[in-house]
Structure 1
Amino acid sequence: MTPYPEEPWHLAGQMYLSLWLEPRSELPAVASGTQPVIAFGRGVVGAAWVVYEQDSVLHYNELLRAVLVRHGRRPCACITDIWVDNEASLSGGRALWGIPKEMARFDVERADVVEATASTGDRALAASRFSQSRRLPGQWPLTYKVAQRLDGRLTTSRASSKGALSFARATWTAPTHSPLHALGRRPPLLSLALRDFSLRFGG
C-alpha cells in the first residue's frame, strides 16, 4: 500500500459543491449502521469537486458524492462514491477512515467559470460547469462528521473547515454507464463555491 500521512490531515484549496433532494428510492446505498435523513420522502445528496493545493499535506483532485445520514441521533455525511488522482490519498482514505476512494483522471479548468471532468480509463464519470454569483462576507466555519465502515465496523471521523463562501450556478452531466448518472437527471437545488478553504480531517 502506498505510504500516506498520519492523521489528522491538514488540507486547503477550493471546493465546488451542489446539493439535491432525491427520492428515497433513488438514494445511493449508505454505510450499514446509518440511515438516510428523510423529509417528505426525500434525502439530501451532495456532490463536489475539490482541488487540494496550497499548504495541503497532499496535493490532488477529488470528485465525491455523499448522503446526509443519521448515526444514532446525530446527522453525519456518508461518502458513497469518491475518486482521486493521488495514490497516497487513496491508500490513506481507505486505511484511516474507510473512505472508498478510487483512482480517476481529472481535467479542471479554473477561471471565471470552473469546468471539471473526471474519467476512469476511457469512460467518463461526470462533468460540471460552475459559475459563481454572490459572495457572502467573511469566513464561514463548518464542523461535521463523516460516517463510514472501517474493518467491519462503523466509524465516524471529524472534519473542521473554514473558507470564503459564494453562491454558484452549476450544471452536471454524467453518462448512463457512470455510477454518478443520477446527478444529471435534474438540476441541483443549491450550488456553492468554497474558496481558499482550510480543512482538518480525522485525528
Structure 2
Amino acid sequence: MRYPPEPWHLRGSAVISVFRVPRDQVPGDHLPSGARLLAVAGNVFVAVAFVTYEPGGVLSYDELLVGTPVWDRGSLAVSIPQIWVDSEVSRTGGRELWGIPKQLARFGQGSSIAAVSAGGGVPLPGRWKVAGPTAQRLDGRDVRAKAAVSGRVRLVRSAWLVPAGGPLGYLTGRTPLLSVALDDMHLTFGEAS
C-alpha cells in the first residue's frame, strides 16, 4: 500500500487529556531498547488524544492515541503504546515509517475503544508549539523520529467513556487531571529523506 513519504504534514484539531495511571497498568512492550517509562511515585502520566486530521495535510483521517513520557538516550521523548486510525494508508505508513503500532478502528457511536466529549473552553493566548523525539519498538525494530505540533490551545472539561473490557480499560472510571482542545493544529512527523 502506498503512503506519503516523510515528513507528514497534517492539519486538524484534537482533544487531549492527561491521566495518572499506576505504572504496572501501562503497556510497555512498545519501548525501544534502553528506554523506560517515566514514573512519579509509581504512576505514569498518560496522554490520551482524539484527533481529526482534515484536508490541507497529506492525509485526512481520525485517530485515537495514547502517549507516554519516556527517558530515552539521555533525554525526554514520547512513546505511543496504543493507537487506532480509520485509514489503512495511515496505518501502514505509521507502522512502516516510524514503528507506531497503528491499528484500524471505526469511531463514533458504539465504539468499543473510547468516546470523548469536551465542553466549555478557556482560550490560552497565542499559538503554542511543542517539538521533540518519539521512541518506538514494533516487530523487533527500534525507531526514533521527530515530531512538532502547534495550535491554539483551550482548557476544556472532558468526559471519556471507556469500556472496562476494552483495550483502554485501565482508564475506566479515571478522571483526567487536565484536558485541552487544540484548534488550528499543524503537525509535522518524521524527517525528509
TM over 0.5: yes
Q: RMSD of the TM alignment (CA)? A: 1.5
Counterpart secondary structure, 1:105: coil
2:176 maps to amino acid: P
Q: Do the aligned partners of 1:132 and 1:193 also contact (CA within 8 Å) in 2?
A: no
Equivalent residue number for residue 144 of structure 1: 132
* Higher share in strand: 1
CA deviation map 1:141-179 (0-9, x unaligned):
110211112563322110111110010111112112211
Alpha-carbon spacing, 1:90–1:195, altered in 2? closer, same or farther (3 Å) = same
Alignment TM-score, normalising by the size of structure 1:
0.88
* Count of matched residue pairs: 189
Q: Which residue of 2 aligns with 1:164?
A: 152
Structure 1: gaps (5+ residues): 108-116
Deviation at 1:12, TM superposition (A): 0.5
Distance in 2 of aligned mates of 1:149 and 1:99: 8
2:27 counterpart residue number:
28
The answer to whether the 8 A contact 2:21-2:171 is kept is no
Distance in 2, Cα, partners of 1:118 & 1:75: 36
Instruction: Check whether the contact 2:101–2:138 (CA below 8 A) recurs between aligned residues.
Output: no
Kindly indicate whether residue 162 of structure 2 is the aligned counterpart of residue 174 of structure 1: yes
1:14-70 superposed Cα distances (whole Å, 9 cap, x missing partner):
010000121222222241422111122211111000000031100000001121111
In 2 relative to 1, CA 129–97 (structure 1 residues): closer, same or farther, beyond 3 Å? same
Give per-residue Cα distances to partners, 1:83-105, cap 9 Å, x unaligned: 11111101100000011111111
Q: What amino acid sits opposite 2:155 in the alignment?
A: F
Are the aligned partners of 1:69 and 1:77 in contact in 2 as well (CA < 8 Å)? yes
- The question of whether the paired residues in 2 share the 8 Å contact of 1:173 and 1:181 is answered with no
C-alpha distance in 2 between matches for 1:194 and 1:118: 25
Counterparts in 2 of 1:62-101, with a 5 A limit?
A: 62-101=63-102
Q: Distance in 1 between matches of 2:88 and 2:141?
A: 24
TM, length-normalised to structure 2 = 0.92
Corresponding residue of 2:119 = 131
Does the aligned pair in 2 maintain the 1:105–1:118 contact within 8 Å? no
1:191 aligns with 2:179: yes
Paired position in structure 2 for 1:13: 12
| Percent pairwise identity | 41
Q: What are the ranges of 5 or more consecutive residues in structure 2 without an aligned counterpart?
A: none
Stretches of 4+ aligned residues off by more than 3 angstroms:
none
The answer as to whether partners of 1:67 and 1:78 remain within 8 angstroms in 2 is yes
